[in-house]
Structure 1
Amino acid sequence: MVATTLSWWAVPAGADSAPTAAEIDWRPRAELPASVRERLPVFCAGGYLPSGAGSGVSGVFGGAEGEPAPVQASGLNARYEIDRTLYLEGDVQVRQGAFEVRGRQARYSQQDGRVSVDGPLVSRGQGFLMTGDSAEYQVDSGRFDINTATFLIHAAEMRGTAGSLTRLSASEVMIEDGMLTTCGPQRNDWAVVASEINLNQAEGFGTARHVRLEVLGVPVFYWPWASFPIDDRRKTGFLYPEFGSSSAGSGGFLALPYYLNLAPHYDATLTPQYIHGRGLFNEAEGRYLSPYGQSILQLGYIGNDSAFADENPGESGERWALDASTIARFDGGWTGYGDYSVVSDEDYLTDLNRTLAINQATHLQRRGGVRYRDRNQYFETYLNDYQTISETIADVNKPYAQLPEVLYGTTRELGWLETGLESQYTLFYRDNENLTGLDRANGHRFRAVPELAVPMRTIWGFSRPSVSVDYTRYELEDYSAGDGGFDRTVPVAEWDNGLYFDRQSSLFDVPYNQTLEPRLYYAWADADADQNDIPDFDTDLQEFRFDRLFQPDRFTGGDRVGDANQLTVALTSRFNDLMTGAERARFSIGQVNYFQDREVTLFGEGASTRSRSPLAGEMVLSPLDTLEIRSSGLWDPETGETEEGRSQLVFHTEDYRYLASLGHTYSKDELEQTDIAGVVPVSDRVSLIGRWVYDSQLDRTVGSLAGIEYNNCCWSVQVVHQNYLTDDTELETRLLFQVQLKGLGGSDGSSTRIAEAIYGFEERERRRYGTP
């Protein structure tokens, strides 16, 4: 905390009462400096503006330990009994080193080193202001006792009252019959009242005995003992209860998280919770931060889920889940990582999960490895496996494990020539006991793609002709189509060309630069048409869209190499704001012209006799820094129909108070969904939150979220009702609550769900609560 220039509140002669510490430093919004008002949320009516403290003056907190400094005292009138007592009256100021107090009159006993001060009195310091009726100060020990006190901690914006307050040391204060709140003066929306409160600034936390939480003066909760932060440091203790309702949980739930600040580099959170209809459910999270990176372990366990046992006769009701992740960055460009997830049954994520970093899924990934990267090359090796949690997925559709997969790639410049290599070795495995034919195959695959290219670049364009060879070698077991050892070689040629034109103009007095960027890309690959004697370990057809126009292969993975003889013609135009450098608009359109039929298939998929692809286009508009419109799609000129389309409008105000998004997704004969979401303030303190997803093909709502949020400067509450579609096409419901008491933290429960549903909400929460 930084000390500022001292400006004391003076006590008028004959005054019977005085402002509280909070009232002295409180300023309405209109009286705050512009720089402070800009940082103040709109729902705050004002804030604290310290009058300042003299250099080294620390009031209740602060002050040097050790050898007592000389006592300095002054007043309008003084009377001194030699070697015994000093009497002062009128605008009295007593200072010893870093301690200073001002009041109406004082008496200093030289024999026992005690200073008695009658108030109203004020003591101000580094981030602390205190007032009271009377006080005593021990010169030798630094102990300071004050009666009928009020205090204000500026950094935490925490104020309070005390029947008596004792400064035990330079950083510790004891409060008897005290009250704490972060609400503004004379506004006790909530308060923590306790018989005894200890504030330890050195440790950054406070403790209290016989604590009750009062809302509008009404007690709502009691703790025999509590610990709470007074700054942004972490502290072991209970977090706020979480409560809500879920149809998957058979009703309401109540959770009481407990945070363990075990060490500066590791901590944990335990969350016991009772779910109506299911029983006691426990979740735990541990986090470890090493010099190399972070590791997180999350666990969930319920010993006897009565609802699950009733729905699944013969099951014990014991259910559990685990999610572990780690990442470590070493010197020299090396990185290690790992991610492992497992659940006891396929319904766990729907019924119970609220804290594990696992979303709805049919396969849970387990992957771990190391990677290396520098300017010219990369290397990675890892093990990868899955848990298939949906019982409806047949064995033939379960993914293969990679045990291991090794990747290596490099590029080198040899004068005007560029050389490159991409290579991959993989051992594929899955349980093949119930499989037949090619689906039974397991084994090794090695793939290497060496390339020679001649890159040519100027400020007005580029050209890059290249040739490569796609070579693959298989060594397979349980292979039904012949000898398990065979290879495939496919020559590939590419020629990528682009031009760059630009001009400068202005629109609405804003100068901008417009570009015109035509691009021609030719690809040729002489691949054998019949590759269906090769198993499908990791291959699929690529989704066709604009950014895929400039790739030679229409397949992903390594088990198919597509035949190609095609030319892509594309055009992009950009509009760049010359004042800010921002790209305000981008329009792109392109089409592939095929000079021969595509014959390579993935078991019947991927062949085509068309001579032209659909037109693929993209549009991005950012007329404002707070508004973005994106649209992409495929239009078939042969049928005159739209094949696919995706559009999204995203808007937020600079302070993220207003959020809005509108989206539409369309796939011919498969999917058409409309998505509307937003956060709209109806006043400075009340906001409405909502999202609605409607599927036109199903003619039903497939997801919704509706809620209300109230904020003022010392607390906020969110109430959210959520519907979401499960794997069995049923709508599950949740009713979630979140309460935040400024300065004491809050409960979780709704913000995470809203952030997943509404773009920009996470940034909105970060700005409001100052989280990193």
Structure 2
Amino acid sequence: MCALPVGAPDCRPPLIRLVALVALACVQMSAQAQQEADQSPLKLIATPKLQEGLEATQLESAPTFLFGDTLTGRTDLETIVQGNAEMRKPGTVIKADRLEYYAPDDLARATGNVRINRNGNVFEGPALELKVEAFEGTFESPQYRFLQNGAHGDASKAVFLDESRTVVYGATYTTCRRKPGPDWVPEWVLRAADIEFDSGEDVGIAHGAYLHFMDVPILPVPAISFPLSDARKSGVMPPTIGLGDVNGTEVSVPYYWNIAPNRDATVTPTVMTARGVTVAGEFRYLEPTYSGVVRGNYMPADKLRSADRWGATLNQTGTLGADLGNAAYALNLNRVSDDNYWSDFASIGALTSRTLANDAVTTWSRSGYTVTGRALRWQTLQSSTSVITPPYDLTQLNVLRSQLNDRGFDWSVQGDLSQFESDRALTLQPNAQRMYGLAQVSRPFIAPEGFVTPKLQLHTSVYQFDSAISTGNRSADSTVPTFSLDSGLVFERDTGWNGRAMTQTLEPRLFYVRTPYRNQSYLPNYDTAASDFNFASIFTENAYVGHDKISDNNLATFGLTTRFLDAQTGEQLARFGVAQRYRFEDQRVTLSPAAEPALAGWSDILLGAGVNVSRQWGFDSTVQYNPLTSQSSRATVGARYTPSPYRVLNAAYRFQRSVSEQIDVSWQWPLNDLWGDAGSAAVPGGGLGEGRYYGVGRLNYSLNENRMVDTLLGVEYDAGCWLARVVIGRVQTSASSSTSSIKFELEFVGFTRVGVSPLQALKSNISRYQNLREPGGSKNSRFSNYE
């Protein structure tokens, strides 16, 4: 064995030297492989270094940095920075020409072009004195700008109370974007004796204020709160004013109370010059096991009715606890003081119907069992000039046992006990207890290329009446069996159109149902109605919905559907379908003796088509065609064009022979397009840019009556920091009467709204309507305004 000093010749035998060289080569190759592995692409990992807010312990330990052209001072006493002075600590940046910092008092004094950035909110002015840690101090003659909503203003003085609260005196506030020039005046501005900004609650509170619009004071506001972001806030909301020929002038001043993140309330007192004072309230709540809304309205001593008036509604859903299984309930309660409430207080939207439901439903389910209990009571508002037939009050218990794929079979057994009660003088048929049972079993045979499903049903019902029916008995029963066979095939092929790869399907379907005739003409009708004739109902066993009448059937339904699907995404681009029934025997069971039964032979043909040419164009239609008369019995044709945000055009044609024929058109469209101004790219929830007009409306015209049924016409204007909406509406309530309304609203973006809002009317009448300022958009971060 030999020692090898550095630089000495190798004295080892040749074989040992060879083994050593091989080992060294292996080590070098392993090291090279490891180095190559270490040079694999880097992966980003989550880090808290740019978190929106720092923890209290991090803030306490964070250092304070001072920069500038020259720094002088004494250690742990004071520091003076001259020229381009800057102080930095987490969340706060102070810049000035001169900055003095006194460490024992944590006091900073800044003069000359002072700028302070606190979590993105900026104040600028000539002089600042501030206790940095507590964030307490004063700012002389500041100008300010807030990050979340872009609002800005100026004041004679600002007082920082703490890190989240600031009071400004002799202040202005606006969200209008500042434009170049010394003579610029915002289109709207709030001028107040003082405004308190609370960034923790995202709310501003102004006192002794006037709202100026186009440099004209339009609204005195002795005290008002307004949002600094899209977050909910408590405070008085802007008043609404309405005019009517019955109630007179109406003035409402709502107050919103943000109780908690999951609870809020709104109280709205209203003065009606012809009636008196009414107070409306709404309470919303969202709890772990239940949620709902309560609304109420109370008017003491109505001048026109000489009585107290009130209305109340409750909607709540919830669960009943895990110990009870999957148990849930739903409440829908509505009550009013008198029969005239629905017409006198039409603004209470939930209570304008003449039949008010009071409905309580509970359900329980476990292991294929479902039990449902229901109690339904109606308040029917009658009129001396218009008497309506009241609905039946219902008490119901329903039990269902079902099982899917039980050795290949799907089956269910259902039992129901119901009590029907109403005013017999108006319903003209007895009250009753009804018990029915429905058993059904099917055996689906399903494969990729198609399916076959035979099915058996047995429906039986037993009645007990409170008086004799036409047969002279106070009881009755009925049992009806049904057999059906549903089958279909699916064929596919590759195709294309205009260079786009597609898959086309061809789906023939055959449905047969046999229900023998059972005489049910003597049975009253409590909850049964005829099904609409469409592509869903044409493949069902019963022509009626409900359990008092089961239609006799011996018919076959033939259907054929073809679809065009995007080969890459599976998106349906087009659908075309046709279906027709052939009845082997005349139908004999009808809902009433006066109803005409369906006759043997071919039914009307259903034709349907839906085409999505692109994401901008959509087309959908259904036609019911009678081959005997070579005429269509019913038709609905609709089209939609949405080329870009805030541009939508809807058109529909609806026809029912001998009943109605209507054309319905609705739209939202930038009027600036008419003179070639397409606007800027759409900002989500922010419109197409300022200085733009939008036409909105809906026209529903009856061709068979040659008159307009519903009319809604309006114009919206987006000025950037404020919006204006004017909407005129007219609704035909009968052949000889109609109601008209005009709604005007000014929305000062990021602050408040004044007038009567037409937004709900626009959303309900124009499909795919978009509000020019949708709340809840993207939130700014303090890093959005980082210095």
Q: TM-score, normalised by structure 2?
A: 0.83
- Pair 738,317 (structure 1): closer, same or farther in 2 beyond 3 Å: farther
d(CA) in 2 for partners of 1:191, 1:373 = 59
Q: Does the alignment pair 1:404 with 2:404?
A: no
Q: Deviations over 1:706-750 (max 9, x none)?
A: 111011332212111111122574110111123322222435620
Q: Does the alignment pair 1:323 with 2:313?
A: yes
Q: Does the alignment pair 1:455 with 2:477?
A: no
2:66 maps to: 73
Contact 2:455 2:484 in 1 (8 A): yes
* Equivalent AA in structure 2 for residue 423 of structure 1: G
Name stretches of at least 5 consecutive residues in structure 1 with no aligned partner.
1-53, 310-314
1:19 maps to: none
1:638 maps to: 628
Contact 1:659 1:760 in 2 (8 A): yes
Contact 2:164 2:200 in 1 (8 A): yes
Root mean square deviation, CA, Å = 3.1
Contact 2:91 2:119 in 1 (8 A): no
1:582 maps to: 571
Equivalent runs, 1:679-718 vs 2, <5 Å? 679-683=668-672, 684=679, 685-718=692-725
Tell me by how many angstroms 1:98 deviates.
5.4
Q: Deviations over 1:315-374 (max 9, x none)?
A: 43654332221111455433210112234456544553334335x544222211112456
* Equivalent AA in structure 2 for residue 236 of structure 1: S
d(CA) in 1 for partners of 2:698, 2:542 = 39
1:215 maps to: 213
* Equivalent AA in structure 1 for residue 260 of structure 2: A
d(CA) in 1 for partners of 2:488, 2:308 = 62
Secondary structure, counterpart of 2:763 in structure 1: helix
d(CA) in 2 for partners of 1:482, 1:106 = 103
From 675, 678, 683, the equivalent of 2:664 is 675
Contact 1:238 1:256 in 2 (8 A): yes
* Equivalent AA in structure 2 for residue 296 of structure 1: V
1:531 maps to: 520
Contact 2:517 2:588 in 1 (8 A): no
Tell me by how many angstroms 1:143 deviates.
2.3
1:508 maps to: 498
Equivalent runs, 1:279-358 vs 2, <5 Å? 279-303=276-300, 309=304, 315-316=305-306, 318-329=308-319, 331=322, 332-344=325-337, 348-358=341-351
1:263 maps to: 260
Secondary structure, counterpart of 1:680 in structure 2: strand
Q: Deviations over 1:397-451 (max 9, x none)?
A: 332111234252523433133322233221111122x269xx3411211111212
Tell me by how many angstroms 1:395 deviates.
7.6
Tell me by how many angstroms 1:90 deviates.
1.1
Contact 1:64 1:170 in 2 (8 A): no
Q: Deviations over 1:559-617 (max 9, x none)?
A: 11111111111111111122332211111111111111111122222523331111122
2:156 maps to: 163
Tell me by how many angstroms 1:242 deviates.
1.9
From 711, 727, 743, the equivalent of 1:720 is 727
Tell me by how many angstroms 1:254 deviates.
3.0
Q: Taking every aligned residue pair, what percent have the same amino acid on both sides?
A: 23
- Pair 62,218 (structure 1): closer, same or farther in 2 beyond 3 Å: farther
Tell me by how many angstroms 1:234 deviates.
2.3
Tell me by how many angstroms 1:284 deviates.
1.9
Secondary structure, counterpart of 1:756 in structure 2: helix
Q: Deviations over 1:233-255 (max 9, x none)?
A: 322211122234456x5665432
Secondary structure, counterpart of 1:545 in structure 2: coil
Contact 1:527 1:561 in 2 (8 A): no
| Corresponding residue pairs, total | 702
- Pair 405,668 (structure 1): closer, same or farther in 2 beyond 3 Å: farther
Secondary structure, counterpart of 1:169 in structure 2: coil
1:735 maps to: 742
Tell me by how many angstroms 1:64 deviates.
8.4
Q: Deviations over 1:33-59 (max 9, x none)?
A: xxxxxxxxxxxxxxxxxxxxx98999x
1:29 maps to: none
1:50 maps to: none
Q: Does the alignment pair 1:555 with 2:562?
A: no
- Pair 522,766 (structure 1): closer, same or farther in 2 beyond 3 Å: farther
From 395, 417, 431, the equivalent of 1:442 is 431
- Pair 504,88 (structure 1): closer, same or farther in 2 beyond 3 Å: same
d(CA) in 2 for partners of 1:65, 1:237 = 35
Secondary structure, counterpart of 1:623 in structure 2: coil
d(CA) in 1 for partners of 2:98, 2:571 = 65
- Pair 96,465 (structure 1): closer, same or farther in 2 beyond 3 Å: closer
- Pair 133,441 (structure 1): closer, same or farther in 2 beyond 3 Å: same
* Equivalent AA in structure 1 for residue 718 of structure 2: N
Name stretches of at least 5 consecutive residues in structure 2 with no aligned partner.
1-48, 180-184, 673-678, 680-691, 780-787
Structure 1 window deviating more from structure 2 (582-591 vs 384-393): it is: 384-393
* Equivalent AA in structure 2 for residue 644 of structure 1: R
* Equivalent AA in structure 2 for residue 287 of structure 1: R
2:676 maps to: none
1:367 maps to: 359
d(CA) in 2 for partners of 1:288, 1:107 = 52
- Pair 723,769 (structure 1): closer, same or farther in 2 beyond 3 Å: farther
d(CA) in 2 for partners of 1:771, 1:370 = 40
Q: Does the alignment pair 1:470 with 2:459?
A: yes
Contact 1:162 1:177 in 2 (8 A): yes
- Pair 392,100 (structure 1): closer, same or farther in 2 beyond 3 Å: same
* Equivalent AA in structure 2 for residue 123 of structure 1: I
d(CA) in 2 for partners of 1:466, 1:81 = 95
1:204 maps to: 202
Tell me by how many angstroms 1:631 deviates.
1.1
Larger radius of gyration: 2
- Pair 703,252 (structure 1): closer, same or farther in 2 beyond 3 Å: farther
Contact 2:584 2:600 in 1 (8 A): no
Secondary structure, counterpart of 2:551 in structure 1: coil
Tell me by how many angstroms 1:91 deviates.
0.9
Tell me by how many angstroms 1:510 deviates.
1.1
- Pair 606,55 (structure 1): closer, same or farther in 2 beyond 3 Å: closer
Contact 1:127 1:153 in 2 (8 A): yes
d(CA) in 2 for partners of 1:229, 1:768 = 12
Q: TM-score, normalised by structure 1?
A: 0.84
Q: Deviations over 1:233-291 (max 9, x none)?
A: 322211122234456x5665432211122333322112223445444443221212221
Secondary structure, counterpart of 2:200 in structure 1: coil
d(CA) in 2 for partners of 1:357, 1:765 = 27
Q: Deviations over 1:86-120 (max 9, x none)?
A: 54321112346654311112334567664322111
- Pair 123,602 (structure 1): closer, same or farther in 2 beyond 3 Å: same
Contact 1:499 1:519 in 2 (8 A): yes
1:4 maps to: none
Contact 1:63 1:99 in 2 (8 A): no
d(CA) in 2 for partners of 1:55, 1:396 = 66
Contact 1:57 1:125 in 2 (8 A): no
Tell me by how many angstroms 1:72 deviates.
4.6
Equivalent runs, 1:79-228 vs 2, <5 Å? 79-80=72-73, 86-95=79-88, 99-108=92-101, 114-138=107-131, 141-186=134-179, 188-228=186-226
- Pair 136,346 (structure 1): closer, same or farther in 2 beyond 3 Å: same
* Equivalent AA in structure 2 for residue 586 of structure 1: R
2:41 maps to: none
Structure 1 window deviating more from structure 2 (488-497 vs 287-296): it is: 287-296
